[in-house]
Chains A and B, each alone.
Chain A
């Protein structure tokens, strides 16, 4: 086609190809995928604000409930003491695992293999539901001890969560802050997991109906995949700052 253009107009009509003259798309991603990235960036700001507030409150408090004492039981079993990090380790494993099944679904989508996409998506949904169930058990356990938004356990129970010799007033103050921050931040994260599971279910139904086969591309799997990995990413930080440090 370009061969037919006369030399006089070719100078103007020539397709510009260099990056700075508008010849190429600067990001080279589809619109929806770019918007998903920008949404995730804004969500990263929200989660950072929550986690940084947590950090600054904890850093400025003279004492704080020790994670290895607060989270030392395995909810749903009879193990009440002496097993720190076991339950949350399981939760972390489940979430990383569901992230892997999600990338495998994206990879299957690149090969246009509808059947594989469906199976990996179902795996991801099951992983998400398992994580949510674990979180429900964890919340239920802390609630049964007396923790809730602006609620803390009684004096005797509270003492178990601190190193000996911490005055009661300091215990109560930091436990209030801990309870509010824990339920708000893990709750906001859990809400993201819940939304992710709903979105994954909708997308899987679309795959089953052949929506993306007709469209000729499984790019939508990639977009929900970005969201799902972001949820995993946030959990990595929540895990470190609530359970390890």
Chain B
């Protein structure tokens, strides 16, 4: 009985684990994304090459990319069972729901003020 689950574990969990090389790769990805954000904030926006309205969505996309790398590789979620991945990721839909509701609400507020 004990042989079966350990085999599964070895297949799904320990096989694709993080090596030291991979860890440093992820670190340089995170550092690179942060550097891009700095270039946008310190050079592109002040010099008028990129408008603030365009820069903000870019920041959010880059932030989500960083979040993906941290959760997938540092927190190892990419190498866990699919059931656990969904158990963690699907409830995040509630957060998106709250964002939509409150964005709509603040639109209404600013309409009242303006």
Given A37-B84, A85-B41, is A100 in contact with B60 using a C-beta cutoff of 8 Å?
A: no
Across-interface contacts of A100 in B (CB, < 8 A): 23-24, 27
Q: How far is the CB of B63 from chain A (nearest CB, A)?
A: 4
Bound state CA distance, A107 and B26, in angstroms? Answer: 14
CB 8 Å contact bits of B10-38 with A (1 = contact, 0 = none) = 00111001111001100100110010011
Once A236-B63, A237-B63 are accepted as A-B contacts, the answer to whether A59 and B92 lie under 8 Å apart by CB is: no
Contact pick for A244, options B18, B59, B109, CB 8 Å: B59
In the complex the two chains form, is A84's CB within 8 Å of B88's CB? no
Partner of B95, one of A52, A59, A84, A106: A52
Number of A-B contacts (CB under 8 A): 137
The residues in A between 81 and 111 inclusive whose CB is less than 8 angstroms from any CB of B are 84-85, 89, 92-93, 96-97, 99-100, 102-104, 106-107, 110
Q: Do residues B83 and A26 form an inter-chain contact, with CB atoms below 8 A? A: yes
A59 nearest in chain B by CB position: B106
Chain B contact residues, majority secondary structure: helix
The answer to whether B13 touches A244 (Cβ under 8 A) is: no
Q: Does A240 contact B (CB under 8 A)?
A: yes
Contacts of B19 in A (CB 8 A): 107
Which residues in chain B, 49-86, are within 8 Å of chain A measured between CB atoms? Answer: 56, 59-60, 62-63, 66-67, 70-71, 74-76, 80-81, 83-84
B81 to chain A, nearest CB (A): 5
- Residues A44 and B80 in contact in the complex (CB < 8 Å), given A25-B5, A107-B20, A237-B63: no
Interface size on A (CB < 8 Å)? 53
User: Do B18 and A57 touch across chains, with their CB atoms under 8 A apart?
Assistant: no
| Structural contact, A226 and B13, CB atoms closer than 8 A | no
Residues of the B chain whose Cβ atoms lie less than 8 Å from the Cβ of A102? 74
Query: Which of B's residues lie within 8 Å of A, judged by CB?
Result: 1, 4-5, 8-9, 12-14, 17-20, 23-24, 27, 30-31, 34, 37-38, 41-42, 46, 56, 59-60, 62-63, 66-67, 70-71, 74-76, 80-81, 83-84, 87-88, 91-92, 94-95, 98-99, 102-103, 105-107, 109-110, 113-114
Contacts beyond the supplied A24-B4, A62-B114: 10 A-B pairs with Cβ under 8 Å: A17-B4, A27-B81, A37-B87, A48-B98, A56-B102, A59-B106, A107-B20, A110-B14, A230-B75, A237-B63
